[in-house]
Amino acid sequence: MAVLALVAGLAGCGAGEGPGDDPAGGGGPGGPVRITVTPSDGSVEVGPDRRLEVRVDRGRLESVKVVRVRDAREEQVPGELSGDGRRWRPVDGALALAARYTVDAVASDGGRRAARHASFTTVVPQERFIGYVTPENRATVGTGMIVSLEFSREITDRAAVERAVRVTADPEVPVAGHWFGRDRLDFRPEEYWRPGTEVTVDLALRDVEGAPGVFGLQRKAFTFTVGRSQVSTVDAAAHTMRVVREGEEPALVPVTAGAPETPTYNGKMVVTEMLDVTRMDGSTVGFGGEYDIPDVPHAIRLSRSGTFLHGNYWADTSVFGHGNVSHGCVGLRDVKGGGRATPARWFYDRSLIGDVVEVVNSDDRTVAPDNGLGGWNLDWRAWRAGSALG
């Protein structure tokens, strides 16, 4: 009965407190311990700049339990006491947005004890942003894969957002971020990933203010695995593609690249999409009505602007290995419908998202680093200079 009376007494100490920051207890010499909770009990629309704190005027805090409810999920907030036991703060000082917090604290001073119950809610932001991530979770990719995030809103506080994204590798290797404008952030190591590397992308964007009044929504992590190494070099002048695959003899494949008036980009490009068959319409990439082919087989995308390495069944077989006739793509001999024993099918079956295809000896400029995943065309110093974190 004595224990029940004590519990009832503790529960009653916090009851009836007003919405202000008034501490519990009667105060004065010999009175109960004063427990103060900030933000105050009953507060609403508390901003992320406020700091959660529980403190006592004397004695020590015996226990503090803080529970946060957001997205219909309840979780206890970890915290730590100061050395003198008179102040408690959460380990992560930032308050979550669109959440309800409840605080239950017990303190004592000699033989006197007091309890405090308080609750408050945080502001619900009207504007949110998310990052669309490449590659996909649990994917197996080539050694040239670049982690790329495209944000749904323009980011003005790029340092805050970049700080909230962690890309780590096992085996460990330094990874750096690089911004392209205000809505894209890419990550890569200095050199291609080692085969077998496990890469983890941790997005702690939730409640990060990326622009004034615009807060992140995501809090998740995902992983992908780096598969075998395959790097292919297209020599536009020699009309060949040299395929170097880990542990195998290089293969030399005849190709046709961009014609003199529509040359293929030079530089390193990364496979970002693979399509068994697709339509290629020149009007979508600035060529008017020069071509519209509804069934291009074995199409491998290399740039966002429309550079593909693909099967070609409409050109005379004599051009492969001898001439450049395309509108900027790299063509491999194929048959209508996609053959089983053609160079295009052979290469398609051996390729992964994230493989590197480098074009050399073309009459065009080097592909821009933000055209697809072209970031390997920047050296490490230039890449790191694009980080908002210095």
Q: Tell which of 227, 262, 296 closes a domain.
A: 227
- Given the residues 117, 239, 310, 327, the one annotated as active site: 310
Q: Are residues 115 and 133 both part of a single domain?
A: no
SS (H, E, C) the chain: CHHHHHHHHHHHHCCCCCCCCCCECCCCCCCCCCEEEECCCCCCCECCCCCCEEEECCCEEEEEEEEEEECCEEEECCEEECCCCCEEEECCCCCCCCCEEEEEEEEEECCEEEEEEEEEEECCCCEEECEEEECCCCCEECCCCCEEEEECCCCCCHHHHHHCEEEEEECCCCEEEEECCCCEEEEEECCCCCCCCEEEEEEECECCEEECCEEECCEEEEEEEECCCEEEEEECCCCEEEEEECCCCCEEEECECECCCCCCCEEEEECCEEEEEEEEEHHHHCCCCCCEEEEEEEEEECCCCCCEEEEECCCCHHHCCCCCCECCCEEEECCCCCCCCCHHHHHHHCCCCCCEEEEECCCCCECCCCCCCCHHHCCHHHHHHCCCCC
If asked whether residues 78 and 94 sit together in one domain, one would say: yes
Q: In this predicted model, what pLDDT tens digit does every residue of 261-294 receive, in sequence order?
A: 999 999 999 999 999 999 888 766 666 666 688 8
Average pLDDT, the chain: 90
Q: Which domain holds residue 97?
A: 2-121
Question: Which pLDDT score is estimated for 359?
Answer: 98
- 185 and 307 assigned to the same domain: no
Asked if 367 and 258 sit in the same domain, the reply is yes
Residue 83 lies in a domain: yes
Give tens-digit pLDDT for 200-231: 999 999 999 999 999 999 999 999 999 999 99
- In this structure, the answer to whether residues 98 and 235 fall within a common structural domain is no
205 and 253 in a single domain? The answer is no
To the query of whether residue 329 is one of the catalytic residues in this protein, the response is: yes
Q: Indicate whether 17 and 142 sit together in one domain.
A: no
Are 368 and 261 part of one and the same domain? yes
Lowest mean pLDDT segment, chosen from 9-13, 38-42, 292-296:
9-13
Instruction: Kindly name the residue from 117, 178, 327, 329 that is annotated as catalytic.
Output: 329
User: What's the CATH code of the domain at 24?
Assistant: 2.60.40.3780
Does some domain include residue 390? no
Q: How many domains does the chain have?
A: 3
pLDDT score, position 233: 98
Model confidence over 87-99: pLDDT tens digits?
999 998 889 999 9
pTM of the model: 0.79
- Tell me the pLDDT tens digit for each residue of 130-159: 999 999 999 999 999 999 999 999 999 999
Let me know if 310 is a catalytic residue: yes
Kindly tell me if the per-residue pLDDT of 5 is higher than 50: no
Would you place residue 30 in the very low, low, confident or very high pLDDT band (cuts 50, 70, 90)? Answer: low
pLDDT(66) > 90 = yes
Q: For residue 278, what is the domain's CATH number?
A: 2.40.440.10
Q: List pLDDT tens digits, range 46-58.
A: 998 899 999 999 9
Whether 384 is in a domain gets the answer no
Residue 1, pLDDT > 70, answer no
Average pLDDT in the 151-180 region?
98
